[in-house]
Amino acid sequence: MKLAKGSTPWVSVPMLLTAFLAAAGNWYMSAVAMAGLVFMIFFHRDPDRIPLGDGMLSPADGKVILAAPDRVTVFMGPSNVHVNRAPLDSLVRNIEYQKGTHMPAFMNRAASNQQSRMQLETDDGSMELRQITGALVRKIVCYVQPGDRVLRGERIGMIRFGSRVEVSIPEGYSLRVIKGDKVKAGETVIAVRSS
Protein backbone atom coordinates (compact mmCIF):
# COMPACT_ATOMS: atom_id res chain seq x y z
CA MET A 1 0.00 0.00 0.00
CA LYS A 2 1.36 3.40 -1.01
CA LEU A 3 1.45 6.04 1.74
CA ALA A 4 1.11 9.79 1.31
CA LYS A 5 4.20 11.97 1.10
CA GLY A 6 5.29 13.07 4.58
CA SER A 7 3.48 10.29 6.45
CA THR A 8 6.59 8.57 7.83
CA PRO A 9 6.61 10.33 11.25
CA TRP A 10 2.89 9.70 11.69
CA VAL A 11 3.31 5.97 11.00
CA SER A 12 6.73 5.45 12.65
CA VAL A 13 5.72 6.55 16.15
CA PRO A 14 2.92 4.00 16.66
CA MET A 15 5.03 1.34 14.91
CA LEU A 16 7.95 1.85 17.31
CA LEU A 17 5.60 2.09 20.28
CA THR A 18 3.95 -1.21 19.28
CA ALA A 19 7.34 -2.94 19.04
CA PHE A 20 8.59 -1.46 22.33
CA LEU A 21 5.46 -2.42 24.27
CA ALA A 22 5.43 -5.93 22.79
CA ALA A 23 9.11 -6.41 23.69
CA ALA A 24 8.32 -5.23 27.22
CA GLY A 25 5.56 -7.84 27.45
CA ASN A 26 2.73 -5.31 27.73
CA TRP A 27 0.44 -7.02 25.23
CA TYR A 28 -2.65 -4.96 26.03
CA MET A 29 -0.94 -1.59 25.41
CA SER A 30 0.89 -3.08 22.44
CA ALA A 31 -2.50 -3.96 20.93
CA VAL A 32 -3.71 -0.39 21.53
CA ALA A 33 -0.58 1.00 19.84
CA MET A 34 -1.10 -1.49 16.98
CA ALA A 35 -4.65 -0.17 16.51
CA GLY A 36 -3.16 3.34 16.31
CA LEU A 37 -0.67 2.12 13.71
CA VAL A 38 -3.42 0.55 11.60
CA PHE A 39 -5.42 3.81 11.78
CA MET A 40 -2.39 5.88 10.72
CA ILE A 41 -1.64 3.58 7.77
CA PHE A 42 -5.31 3.64 6.72
CA PHE A 43 -5.54 7.42 7.08
CA HIS A 44 -2.31 8.12 5.14
CA ARG A 45 -3.00 5.74 2.25
CA ASP A 46 -2.53 7.23 -1.21
CA PRO A 47 -3.98 5.02 -3.96
CA ASP A 48 -3.30 5.68 -7.62
CA ARG A 49 -6.29 7.11 -9.47
CA ILE A 50 -7.39 7.13 -13.11
CA PRO A 51 -9.82 9.87 -14.24
CA LEU A 52 -13.28 8.57 -15.20
CA GLY A 53 -13.75 10.79 -18.26
CA ASP A 54 -12.92 14.27 -19.50
CA GLY A 55 -13.54 17.44 -17.53
CA MET A 56 -12.76 18.94 -14.16
CA LEU A 57 -11.91 16.38 -11.48
CA SER A 58 -12.80 16.40 -7.82
CA PRO A 59 -9.85 17.71 -5.79
CA ALA A 60 -10.78 15.56 -2.79
CA ASP A 61 -12.40 12.30 -1.70
CA GLY A 62 -15.60 12.65 0.25
CA LYS A 63 -19.13 13.98 0.15
CA VAL A 64 -20.23 17.06 -1.80
CA ILE A 65 -21.66 19.46 0.79
CA LEU A 66 -22.03 22.41 -1.61
CA ALA A 67 -22.62 22.31 -5.36
CA ALA A 68 -23.12 25.84 -6.69
CA PRO A 69 -22.59 26.99 -10.30
CA ASP A 70 -19.39 28.78 -9.26
CA ARG A 71 -17.93 26.35 -6.67
CA VAL A 72 -17.98 22.86 -5.18
CA THR A 73 -17.11 21.95 -1.59
CA VAL A 74 -16.15 18.40 -0.59
CA PHE A 75 -16.10 17.24 3.04
CA MET A 76 -13.49 14.57 3.77
CA GLY A 77 -14.52 12.21 6.57
CA PRO A 78 -12.15 10.00 8.57
CA SER A 79 -12.53 7.07 6.15
CA ASN A 80 -11.71 9.11 3.03
CA VAL A 81 -8.29 9.44 1.41
CA HIS A 82 -6.99 12.89 2.44
CA VAL A 83 -4.57 13.48 -0.45
CA ASN A 84 -5.78 16.34 -2.67
CA ARG A 85 -5.38 16.49 -6.44
CA ALA A 86 -5.40 19.09 -9.21
CA PRO A 87 -8.83 19.38 -10.87
CA LEU A 88 -7.38 20.54 -14.24
CA ASP A 89 -4.01 21.05 -15.89
CA SER A 90 -2.84 24.27 -14.25
CA LEU A 91 -0.07 26.66 -13.37
CA VAL A 92 0.19 27.38 -9.63
CA ARG A 93 0.15 31.20 -9.49
CA ASN A 94 0.07 31.73 -5.74
CA ILE A 95 -0.43 29.91 -2.44
CA GLU A 96 -1.56 31.89 0.56
CA TYR A 97 -1.92 30.59 4.10
CA GLN A 98 -4.72 32.09 6.18
CA LYS A 99 -5.18 31.69 9.92
CA GLY A 100 -8.73 31.18 11.08
CA THR A 101 -11.16 29.46 13.39
CA HIS A 102 -11.24 25.75 14.23
CA MET A 103 -14.83 24.68 13.58
CA PRO A 104 -15.68 21.08 12.58
CA ALA A 105 -15.07 20.80 8.81
CA PHE A 106 -18.62 19.69 7.96
CA MET A 107 -20.16 22.94 9.32
CA ASN A 108 -20.87 25.94 7.07
CA ARG A 109 -18.91 28.17 9.46
CA ALA A 110 -15.78 26.10 8.71
CA ALA A 111 -15.27 28.29 5.63
CA SER A 112 -13.51 30.72 8.02
CA ASN A 113 -11.17 28.01 9.40
CA GLN A 114 -7.41 27.92 8.94
CA GLN A 115 -6.77 27.30 5.24
CA SER A 116 -4.48 27.36 2.26
CA ARG A 117 -5.71 29.27 -0.82
CA MET A 118 -4.16 28.10 -4.06
CA GLN A 119 -4.57 30.28 -7.17
CA LEU A 120 -4.43 28.13 -10.31
CA GLU A 121 -4.32 29.29 -13.93
CA THR A 122 -5.88 26.90 -16.46
CA ASP A 123 -6.47 27.08 -20.21
CA ASP A 124 -10.04 28.09 -19.31
CA GLY A 125 -9.14 30.85 -16.86
CA SER A 126 -8.24 31.17 -13.23
CA MET A 127 -9.55 29.04 -10.40
CA GLU A 128 -9.09 28.95 -6.64
CA LEU A 129 -8.65 25.79 -4.57
CA ARG A 130 -8.98 26.11 -0.80
CA GLN A 131 -7.74 23.41 1.58
CA ILE A 132 -9.67 24.06 4.80
CA THR A 133 -8.78 22.39 8.10
CA GLY A 134 -11.19 20.92 10.62
CA ALA A 135 -11.28 21.09 14.41
CA LEU A 136 -8.54 18.57 15.26
CA VAL A 137 -4.90 18.44 14.16
CA ARG A 138 -5.28 21.21 11.55
CA LYS A 139 -2.27 20.40 9.38
CA ILE A 140 -2.23 21.43 5.71
CA VAL A 141 0.57 20.04 3.56
CA CYS A 142 1.22 21.52 0.10
CA TYR A 143 3.23 19.43 -2.35
CA VAL A 144 3.44 22.29 -4.88
CA GLN A 145 4.68 25.87 -4.90
CA PRO A 146 4.09 28.97 -7.04
CA GLY A 147 5.44 28.48 -10.55
CA ASP A 148 4.81 24.72 -10.62
CA ARG A 149 2.78 23.23 -13.47
CA VAL A 150 0.44 20.46 -12.38
CA LEU A 151 -1.42 17.93 -14.46
CA ARG A 152 -5.08 17.08 -14.07
CA GLY A 153 -5.31 14.51 -11.26
CA GLU A 154 -1.78 15.14 -9.96
CA ARG A 155 -1.24 15.11 -6.20
CA ILE A 156 -1.00 18.68 -4.88
CA GLY A 157 -1.25 18.27 -1.11
CA MET A 158 -2.95 16.75 1.90
CA ILE A 159 -4.96 17.84 4.92
CA ARG A 160 -4.65 15.77 8.07
CA PHE A 161 -7.51 14.59 10.27
CA GLY A 162 -10.84 16.07 9.21
CA SER A 163 -11.14 18.72 6.57
CA ARG A 164 -12.76 20.01 3.42
CA VAL A 165 -11.71 21.29 0.03
CA GLU A 166 -13.48 24.01 -1.93
CA VAL A 167 -12.77 24.69 -5.59
CA SER A 168 -14.11 27.42 -7.84
CA ILE A 169 -15.58 26.38 -11.18
CA PRO A 170 -14.12 28.21 -14.21
CA GLU A 171 -16.50 30.09 -16.46
CA GLY A 172 -17.86 27.92 -19.26
CA TYR A 173 -18.13 24.77 -17.13
CA SER A 174 -21.32 23.10 -15.94
CA LEU A 175 -21.60 20.91 -12.86
CA ARG A 176 -21.91 17.14 -13.00
CA VAL A 177 -22.39 16.66 -9.24
CA ILE A 178 -25.07 17.59 -6.72
CA LYS A 179 -25.08 18.01 -2.96
CA GLY A 180 -24.76 14.61 -1.29
CA ASP A 181 -22.78 12.93 -4.09
CA LYS A 182 -19.74 10.84 -3.10
CA VAL A 183 -16.63 11.77 -5.08
CA LYS A 184 -13.03 10.58 -5.39
CA ALA A 185 -10.04 12.88 -5.91
CA GLY A 186 -8.45 12.59 -9.34
CA GLU A 187 -11.19 10.23 -10.52
CA THR A 188 -14.70 11.73 -10.33
CA VAL A 189 -15.59 14.39 -12.93
CA ILE A 190 -17.36 17.25 -11.14
CA ALA A 191 -17.78 19.67 -14.09
CA VAL A 192 -17.43 19.67 -17.87
CA ARG A 193 -16.85 22.40 -20.41
CA SER A 194 -20.29 23.46 -21.63
CA SER A 195 -19.20 25.54 -24.60
CB 165 within 8 A of CB 76: yes
Range of the domain at 12: 8-43
For residues 125 and 97, membership in a common domain is answered with: yes
- Residue 92, domain member (yes or no): yes
For residues 30 and 80, membership in a common domain is answered with: no
Overall domain count for the chain? 2
For residues 80 and 19, membership in a common domain is answered with: no
pTM of the model: 0.88
For residues 124 and 94, membership in a common domain is answered with: yes
Look up 163 and say whether it is catalytic.
Answer: yes
- Residue 48, domain member (yes or no): no
For residues 113 and 146, membership in a common domain is answered with: yes
Mind listing the pLDDT tens digit for each residue in 85-104? 999 999 999 999 999 888 88
Burial of residue 27, with CB atoms counted within 10 A of its CB: 0-12 exposed, 13-18 middle, 19 or more buried: exposed
Mind listing the pLDDT tens digit for each residue in 14-53? 899 888 888 888 888 989 999 988 888 887 889 999 988 8
For residues 76 and 171, membership in a common domain is answered with: yes
For residue 171, give the CATH number of its domain. 2.70.70.10
**In the prediction, which pLDDT does 69 show?**
94
Catalytic residue among 7, 30, 58, 163: 163
